Chains A and B, each alone.
Chain A
Amino acid sequence: MTNPAIDVRSLRKSFGNQHVLDGVDLAVEAGSIFALLGPNGAGKTTLINILATLTAADSGTAIVAGHDVAEDPDGVREAVSLTGQYAAVDEVLTGEENLRMLARLSGFSAEQARARATELLTRFDLTDAAARRAKSYSGGMRRRLDIALGLVADPPVLFLDEPTTGLDARSRQALWRTIRELASAGTTILLTTQYLDEADALADRIAVLDGGRIVAEGSAAQLKARIGGELVEVRSADGVLLREIPTDGSLDSLRRVLADVAADPASVAVHVVVRKPSLDDVFLTITGAAPQSTIDAEQEVAA
């Protein structure tokens, strides 16, 4: 990556004595989709807010679209748009007025603003609701308007903070499609999500943020490979999951795990299932939010 669209080095941010970001390094290739994955409180929103010039970092550098967020915030603002976690729409205005307002504020003439609003309303299936106040919109419509507002200026870099939270399955699929289309048209997209399937389905690269640090980074396939080849699930006779033991996929390690399970006198009447790891497993293992048994098991296998 010779010239990344987003380049973050040793970024730190504390609120009081709480280190929200504790030395984050990140590089996002232009035109790619990059997912920041992490549990609540991992620092995802803080990182996005720093990159979008809303919050100042304590130390470290962040270059977005060639502009330093601290030195040239207006340069960054001309190149990015942020769609935050909570719909940032003007509820008193209609959908169309919202879009036209944003277009005017992005330097469009009144005429261009009208054309742009019409185009985005069509694109986001909001034409029928164009003349209605945003207050009367359903959650999904509001989110679509919110995303459309972020696209008014067609910025080269797009930040989406948990974009599909609160969307139904159909809207979520539609938004995924839009995000892919934008990326294939050259827009760089940095999104945060708590949904692993979302990161899996969309992102070219995924970074797992936990406790203010990037604890893993790579493509979905690379991250899954980190946990090993196959997972051994140990279930009780009535199907309750007792343990999940990662293996490296080799016959040797599988044999060792099975021997371990067989050696435990408590596991006389268990079912054993071998399956591929999901991103969920990666996430839970890496962030340490997994049930204790999984982590113990991993250490056992490693030992």
Chain B
Amino acid sequence: MSTATMTMTTAPRVRRPTRLVTTGVMIGRSLRHTVRNVDAMIMAIMLPTMLMLLFTFVFGGAIDGGRGGYVDYVVPGIILLCAGFGAASTAVDVADDMSNGIIDRFRTMPLRAMSVLTGHVVASLARNLLATGVVIGVALLLGFRPNADVLDWLGAIGVIAVFILAITWLYAAIGLAARSVEAANGYGFALLFLPYLSSAFVPTDTMPSWLQWIAENQPITPIIETIRGLLMGTDAGTRPLWAMGWCLVIIAAAYLWGSWLFARRARRN
């Protein structure tokens, strides 16, 4: 801190940054966080690989009775399970930001402080699309043979991206609701059971009827069946509509809940 360098040579008039710049800066920040979190990156790559191997070689034989072909069934489920795991860290990232003074710094600047959340959501999307790529890559090595054309693939990736956005916004709101980073970690865990209570790993008609009702009517099943329909050509019926409806409702609800929580925490009452 020398007097010689005192003069403010490079400070122009303060201007309000455009929303595009703000969002871009926040996305850059969250992507740096993601890439530098070595544990999370290893998880994002290792977990899909391990789950694919586990479900194909350990459970697969018992489920398909040794006839093979379970890998074709299970891929959409593994994709969603991994995306759920990957998105869960958003709750921790958001809770971490809220407990750090950096959020107050953003709040006292002329910008939309909620773009911090947008940054985390976009980073989660990037991280989980990478994990999805790993699942599909490993699955292809293990004998996954989808009969999808380019449009089907694009459609499937689109559905997966929308699902990642929905679950990430939900985790971001959970991160805001949690009073501590540890709590954020804990609350998020409950959501990870949903894929097991769906058609992700076994068809729902093998379940007791009361559970069947839950499995058929929760959001994961229509999303799974939509992806399965696109990749494997199975008949998804009206499920794509249900899938998109669920995702949009979850995004809207989580966004509104998150905005409300963000404003409430800003008032500190």
Task: Report A's interface with B, CB cutoff 8 A.
Answer: 15, 49, 52-56, 74, 77-82, 84-93, 97, 101-102, 104-108, 112, 115-116, 119, 122-125, 133, 144, 149-150, 152-155, 174-175, 177-178, 181, 185
Which of A81, A88, A108 sits near B102, CB closer than 8 Å? A88
21 contacts between A and B (CB under 8 A): A15-B269, A53-B107, A55-B267, A77-B108, A77-B109, A78-B16, A84-B101, A88-B101, A88-B104, A89-B101, A93-B29, A93-B32, A105-B21, A105-B106, A105-B111, A107-B21, A116-B11, A119-B9, A119-B10, A153-B14, A154-B11
Which of B11, B102, B108 sits near A90, CB closer than 8 Å? B102
Query: Is B8 located at the chain interface by the 8 A CB criterion?
Result: yes
CA A54 – CA B266 in complex, angstroms? Answer: 7
Residue pair A122, B14 in contact (C-beta under 8 Å) = no
- 8 additional A-B residue pairs with CB within 8 Å, beyond A74-B110, A87-B101: A54-B108, A55-B267, A90-B102, A106-B17, A107-B17, A107-B21, A152-B11, A174-B1
Residue pair A82, B108 in contact (C-beta under 8 Å) = yes
B interface size (C-beta, 8 A)? 38
Which of B3, B10, B101 sits near A181, CB closer than 8 Å? B3
Query: Is B33 located at the chain interface by the 8 A CB criterion?
Result: yes
Residue pair A115, B104 in contact (C-beta under 8 Å) = no
Residue pair B108, A107 in contact (C-beta under 8 Å) = no
For residue A102, which residues in chain B have a CB less than 8 angstroms away from its CB?
Answer: 105
Chain B 8-24 near chain A by CB (<8 Å), digits 1 or 0: 11111011110001100
- Beyond A78-B14, A107-B17, whether A149 also contacts B105 by CB under 8 A is yes
Closest residue of chain B to A78 (Cβ to Cβ) is B110
Whole-angstrom distance between the Cβ of B66 and the nearest chain A Cβ: 48
Closest residue of chain B to A107 (Cβ to Cβ) is B15
Residue pair B105, A88 in contact (C-beta under 8 Å) = yes
Query: Is B36 located at the chain interface by the 8 A CB criterion?
Result: yes
Query: Is B100 located at the chain interface by the 8 A CB criterion?
Result: yes
For residue A85, which residues in chain B have a CB less than 8 angstroms away from its CB?
Answer: 101
For residue A55, which residues in chain B have a CB less than 8 angstroms away from its CB?
Answer: 267-268
CA A122 – CA B5 in complex, angstroms? Answer: 8
Closest residue of chain A to B267 (Cβ to Cβ) is A56
For residue A91, which residues in chain B have a CB less than 8 angstroms away from its CB?
Answer: 100
